[in-house]
């Protein structure tokens, strides 16, 4: 990863040009962590099922791996699992301006607190329950502050002109919680898919009981590399 930038200077037509500062780099190690699932099914059940039970198990385990990974990318503690962007200590926050609620001023502050270099690719990340509260914000006359179109020609959904995605693993709104994150996640994080899901079918280990073991595993790692590319909102006054 880059730890320092290059520099440039003005010089006259015949002025002396000395070497400027070179960019500097450091090494990051992203550990990949393993998740697994193991299911036992009787041989007769595999033989008598009216649908492809093995294919169903593959699909089901793949979905559960996705659920685990999604939670880890948001709030993983980097102990036996990836690091989440909400738990990285270097990701700074903007206060909502209220001890237990979101405020329009807080959203605007979060937008402008993000460094401008990351704004063009920034995305809001929040849960559907938080999105509902943002959608219900009103001005002093009872008019909704945010009214996304519902027509087919309407603009893509956006908050303060930046797109948003909903993530089920983001916290709900409560005191001292971090229900919203905003920034350029492509710059901020790196996700390493070391091994996609692999399935091992073992009809031997439990042959004495007529069972077949399906064992699946996947290895993935993730961590925040450029913490300044994202910011989170804390439900607090400061």
**What pLDDT score was predicted for residue 193?**
92
What is the helix (H) or strand (E) element at residue 135, kind and residue range? helix 128-135
**How high is the pLDDT of residue 68?**
95
Nearest to 30 by CA among 189, 144, 215: 189
Span 16-36, average pLDDT = 90
Q: How many residues does the chain have?
A: 238
**Cβ pair 211, 43 in contact under 8 A:** yes
Q: What is the mean pLDDT of residues 70-74?
A: 96
Q: Contact at 8 Å (CB) between 167 and 74?
A: yes
pTM of the model: 0.84
- CA–CA dist 1, 6 (Å, integer): 14
pLDDT for the residue 141: 86
Which pLDDT band holds residue 148 (cuts at 50, 70, 90)? low
The answer on pLDDT for 154 being more than 80 is: no
pLDDT over 90 (residue 131): yes
What is the structure's pLDDT at 114?
97
Please list the alpha-helical segments (H only) found in 81-196.
Answer: 104-113, 128-135, 185-188
Residue 94 zone, left/alpha/beta (φ > 0; ψ -120 to 50; rest): beta
Question: Regarding predicted confidence, which is higher, 124 or 149?
Answer: 124
pLDDT bin (cut points 50, 70, 90) of residue 155 is low
Lowest mean pLDDT among 113-117, 147-151, 183-187, 212-216: 147-151
Q: What is the pLDDT of residue 3?
A: 82
Query: Mean pLDDT of all residues in the chain?
Result: 91
pLDDT for residue 150: 52
The residues with which 2 forms a beta bridge, in sequence order, are 25
| Conformational region of residue 40, where left means phi above 0, alpha means psi within -120 to 50, and beta covers everything else | beta
188, 224 contact by CB (below 8 A): yes
């Amino acid at each position: 990863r880059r730890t320092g930038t290059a520099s440039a200077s003005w010089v006259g037509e015949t002025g002396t040009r000395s070497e400027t500062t070179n960019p500097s780099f450091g090494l990051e190690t992203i550990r990949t962590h393993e998740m697994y699932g193991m299911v036992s099914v009787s041989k007769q059940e595999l033989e008598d099922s009216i649908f492809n039970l093995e294919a169903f198990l593959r699909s089901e385990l793949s979905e559960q791996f996705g659920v685990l990974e999604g939670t880890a990318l948001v709030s993983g503690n980097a102990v036996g699992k990836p690091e989440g962007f909400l738990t990285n200590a270097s990701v700074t926050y903007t206060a909502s301006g209220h001890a237990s609620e979101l405020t329009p001023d807080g959203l605007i502050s979060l937008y402008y607190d993000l460094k401008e270099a990351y704004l063009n690719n920034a995305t809001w990340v929040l849960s559907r329950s938080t999105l509902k509260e943002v959608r219900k914000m009103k001005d002093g006359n009872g008019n909704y502050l945010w009214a996304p179109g519902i027509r087919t020609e309407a603009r893509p959904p956006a908050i303060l002109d930046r797109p948003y995605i909903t993530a089920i693993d983001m916290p709900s709104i409560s005191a001292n919680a971090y229900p919203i994150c905003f920034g350029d996640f492509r710059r901020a994080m790196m996700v390493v898919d070391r091994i996609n899901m692999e399935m091992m079918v073992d009809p031997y280990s439990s042959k004495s009981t007529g069972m077949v073991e399906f064992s699946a595993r996947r290895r993935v790692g993730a961590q925040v590399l450029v913490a300044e590319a994202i910011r989170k909102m804390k439900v607090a006054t400061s």
